[in-house]
Amino acid sequence: MLRDADQHMADWLHKSQRKPLVIRGARQVGKSYLVRKFARQQAKQLFELNFEQTPELASMFASRDPRKILNLLAVHYGRDIDPQGALLFLDEIQAAPEILATLRYFYEQMPELPVMAAGSLLDFVLDDHEFSMPVGRIEYLHLEPMNFGEFLCAIGKDKYATFIAQFQLGDDIPALIHNELMTLLKTYCVVGGMPEVVQTYRKQQSLPACVAIQESLLTTYRDDFAKYRKGPINVDCLRVVLRQIPQMTGGKFIYSRVDREKRHQDIRTSLEMLCQARVAHRVVHSSGNGVPLGAEVDEKDFKVMFLDVGLFCRSLNLNLLSLEQVAELTLVNSGAVAEQLVGQLLRGNRELYEEPKLFCWIRQKKSSNAEVDYLVTVGGKVIPVEVKAGKTGTLKSLHVFVREKRSNTAVRFNSDVASVITTNTSLVGENTKFNFVSLPMYLVSRLPAIVQSL
């Protein structure tokens, strides 16, 4: 299956100053598969070491001398390793985190050998390590679940993916194509972007078969709890928080709503662990006065979204029939499915070397609350984004944000075809003129290009 990361990795391979590439992402998002496929495509001899399965392999790196390490590996595997024709893949490197420090020596002493590393729970190591990180001598690739375009290509709908990738404001979207894309989007909501689930759907066209894989993945995440940190872990609290996240998506995360019987500190710690494992993601409040959005955050106010919309729907026991029975995705579970979907796709609007982050805007004033689903930056400007049902609606919070921040562009995602109008914030006090862009949810990937075209 094609991934957007394929081209990124090809560009990396041919860099004149190539550094070891560390692939970060949640378990089962396709990191190992991606590297194996890449080695075949590039006709590289793959040397794959899995430190979780075979922890003794870490002893091969004790000298920190790349040439000695390769000689030892050649003896162990019974074949020579040609740095020019090989690819060294260090999988599940979080099981031997001290080897991360060794990557600098491969960069400095053996740059001709392409080296890749991956780890599903790597963020725990990076958050608490006792070795010297090779700062400036490695680079990262952040891998997420398959996006909607990748999903379309995987199931043989390449032409639809191309249509989306080439869409510009002003292009006509015939009703037939629009309706088919909305139907495919609902299917994507149920199947999701986890590669194994997508591959199962592609081969069998069976949603029940996909459900079985999704249940297995959710069980794997629960089984991983014991690996999160050294020392005692409140597994019961982790399970409760994992179960409640889909129930609370779309609104401010409030600890007391998770479980009134559990301490807020335990819930907070559990949520932090799930975010470090990339099973969940915080969407933190930013004042939104300018870029970078992360400079004006309030960590106390945040929302939480799940890793993948398919696993999200599975956790809520939603199926395709449930979604097809309503005209608007935003009406399912009070709009939580649509907000999860759009948020997940917005996380993909970035360069793959960038850490995926999302922000929201939450204002709590007496008799004047306001909340904007997401804030993104395009061309150095802050763009408020709302996910709403139907062709109309007051969008009062969006108007409040535009007026307060003097924004010149705001975006709404819904199920209607694309449009843009110049309007004003007449709903809330003094008028502020701005461009109001309305886009169907299948065009989330086109948001940066569309906003820049204005």
Q: Which run of H or of E encompasses 340?
A: helix 336-346
Final residue of a structural domain among 114, 142, 170: 142
For residue 261, how many C-alpha atoms fall within 13 Å in the half-sphere facing its CB?
A: 3
Higher pLDDT, 443 or 423: 443
Domain match, 68 and 131 both: yes
What local confidence, expressed as pLDDT, does residue 339 receive? 94
Q: What angle do CA 351, 305, 200 make, to 5 degrees?
A: 75
C-beta atoms surrounding 278 within 10 Å: 21
Domain match, 264 and 411 both: yes
Final residue of a structural domain among 108, 142, 176: 142
What local confidence, expressed as pLDDT, does residue 388 receive? 85
Strands (E), 5-151: 21-24, 45-50, 86-91, 115-119, 139-142
pLDDT at residue 133 tops 80: no
- The total number of residues shown for the chain amounts to 454
Domain match, 184 and 53 both: no
Domain match, 188 and 134 both: no
Final residue of a structural domain among 119, 142, 165: 142
Q: What angle do CA 80, 85, 89 make, to 5 degrees?
A: 80
Look at the block and give the residue holding tokens 């019961």.
Answer: 236
pLDDT at residue 394 tops 80: no
The pLDDT tens digits of the residues spanning 138-194 come to 999 999 999 999 999 999 999 999 999 999 999 999 999 999 999 999 999 999 999
Q: Are 109 and 71 in contact (CB under 8 A)?
A: no
What local confidence, expressed as pLDDT, does residue 389 receive? 65
Angle between helices 207-223 and 235-248 (to 10 degrees): 140
User: How many structural domains does the chain have?
Assistant: 2
Residues forming a β-bridge with 118? 23
Measure the CA–CA gap between 438 and 441, rounded to whole angstroms.
Answer: 9
CATH number, domain with residue 115:
3.40.50.300
Confidence of residue 367 (pLDDT cuts 50, 70, 90): low
Percentage with pLDDT > 70 across the chain: 95
Query: Which residues constitute the domain of residue 25?
Result: 5-142
What local confidence, expressed as pLDDT, does residue 130 receive? 65
The pLDDT tens digits of the residues spanning 19-51 come to 999 999 999 999 999 999 999 999 999 999 999
Domain match, 189 and 263 both: yes
When mean pLDDT is compared over 94-98, 195-199, 323-327, 406-410, the highest value belongs to 195-199
Domain match, 18 and 61 both: yes
Domain match, 83 and 156 both: no
